Amino acid sequence: MDYLASVSAHILLYFIFIAGLGKYILGKSSVWSIGHIAFWGLGGLVVGSLTVDFGVNAWIALLASVLFGIIISFLIGLASLRLDGDYFVILSVSLSELIRVIAIEYRGPGGFNGIIRPTFFGVSLENDWLFIVLALCPFVIATIIITLRLEQLHLNRIFLLVKENEILAKSFRYNPVYYKILIFCIGSFFATLSGGLYSLFIRGTDPSTTTLYQGVLLFAISLLSGINTLKGVLLGALLFVAAPRMLEYIITAPGSATYSYNIIQLVYGILLLIVVLLTSRVPVYQK
């Protein structure tokens, strides 16, 4: 049951992250935030440093990390979202590397240890299942409600307009930069939130989950699955979390002492290629 708890928690956490990256940033703007994993790392870093070094309550630390993430993403958006898509990619990649390196420099490659999980109105969340039900599920449900609500707003229409055609948006007097920054902040909010929650769940931080390669993989999966629907986001989270574990179980199951992990990677790569070649979900990016 511990394993199941761990897998479900990962699915929920990556659901929030992929919702932020896929549904918002990629679905409602043309910002290519390849290094979006940086905000996941940032959330963990802030939560870890506040709770371990300063002894702040975990909920407050989570709030602070989310606010910090929004501020950072606002500043980055302000400075860079006027740029062409590929320039932003460079900025995003360098940001993700920078945050990872800062995290390692600040607390060593192992990250923080010994973050104390918060209580939920007096209920201790030390048990994994309690944590999932009382701390993760409310955030996931909130994510779903916010996302569904936004679909109804006029704002959503403006986001789509800006994504599709910036010239037209300018003709209609909407400044594309403002809306891009707004959507980038929303996406970063979810990424920081999931990163912070992750560090609470594992009672520490883990810089090795924020490498560029992980980030690129998450970007790819968000892109493939999460663009139009929340169902897609769920599918993406399952693809990222459950698929490697299922492959692992199937390949190791029949008592085989050895096999190479490269087979899993190979199967994963081939699956990705087939999906890309067959799917038409990937949106047409317009210059």
Partner 1 sequence: MDNLIHGLTIGSIIAFVAFGYALIYSILRFINFAHGEIIMVGAYICYFLYHTLGISSFFLSCFFAMLITGMVGVGLEKIAFKPLRNRSRLSMLLSSLAVSLILQSLASLIFGTSPRILTDFDPTITVLSKTFYVREIVVMIVLPFLAIAFFLSLKYTQIGLAIRAIASNQARAAHIGIPINTIISISFFIASSLACLAGIALGMEGGLTPSMGFKYSIWAFAVSVIAGLGSMKGVLIGGLLYGILLNYAIAYGSGLFADALSLVAVALILLIRGKGFFQIKLREF
Partner 2 sequence: MVKFNKTLWITIVVLFVVLFFITIAFLKPFSDKSKIRIGSVLILSGEYKSYGEYFQQGALLAAEEMNSSQKQQIELTILDSEGSKEKALEKLKALKEQKNIHFVADVMGTAMMRHVIPFINENKILVLSGVNTGPELSGEGGSFFFRIIPSDGIASQQLSKWAIESGFKKGAILYATDDWGQGLRKALDKSYRDLGGEIIDSRDVEVNQTIFQPIVSLYKETKPNVVFLVLYPKTAALFLREVKKQGLQTQIMGTDNFTASELPDIARDAVDGVNFIIPQPAGEPTPQQKNFLELYNLKYGIGKKPHIFTTMAYDCVKLLAKIYQETQGDPERAAKTLEMIQYEGASGHIAFDKNHDVVVKDFSRKVYKYDKVSKKASILDAK
Partner 3 sequence: MTDILLKIDRLCLQFDSKFLFKDISFDGMAGDIVGLFGPNGSGKTSFLNVISGIQESTSGSILYYSGSPKFKTYFDISTFKGGIVRTFQIPELANSLSVADHLLLADSYFSMNICSLINPVNYHTQRNISCTPKALKYIRRFGLESKLQNILSTLSYGERRLVANICALLTGSRILLLDEPFANLSIQACDIFKEIVLEEINSFNKMAIITEHNPDNMISFATRYMHIQNQKLIELPIETLNESKMRNMLYTMSIEYG
Q: Where do contacts with partner 1 occur on this chain (CB under 8 A)? A: 32, 34, 79-80, 82-84, 86-87, 89-91, 93-95, 97-98, 100-101, 104-105, 212-213, 216-217, 220, 223-224, 260, 262-263, 265-266, 268-270, 272-273, 276-277, 280, 282-285
Q: Which of 142, 148, 168, 274 binds partner 3 (CB under 8 A)?
A: 168
Please, which contacts does 68-73 make with residues 24 or more away whose CB atoms are closer than 8 Å?
Answer: 68/42, 68/192, 69/39, 69/42, 69/43, 69/188, 69/189, 69/191, 69/192, 69/193, 70/185, 70/188, 70/189, 70/192, 72/39, 72/42, 72/188, 73/39, 73/184, 73/185, 73/187, 73/188, 73/189
From the list 22-30, 117-125, 158-166, 191-199, the region that binds partner 3 by CB under 8 A is 158-166
**Cβ distance to partner 2 smaller for residue 32 or 219:** 219
Q: How many CA atoms lie within 13 A of 178 on its CB side?
A: 7
Interface characters, 171-210, with partner 3 (x: CB under 8 A): xxxxxx----------------------------------
* Residue 231 interacting entry, from partner 1, partner 2, partner 3, none, C-beta within 5 to 8 Å by type: partner 2
Query: Is 157 a residue that touches partner 3 (CB under 8 A)?
Result: yes
Structure tokens at 247: 């492959």
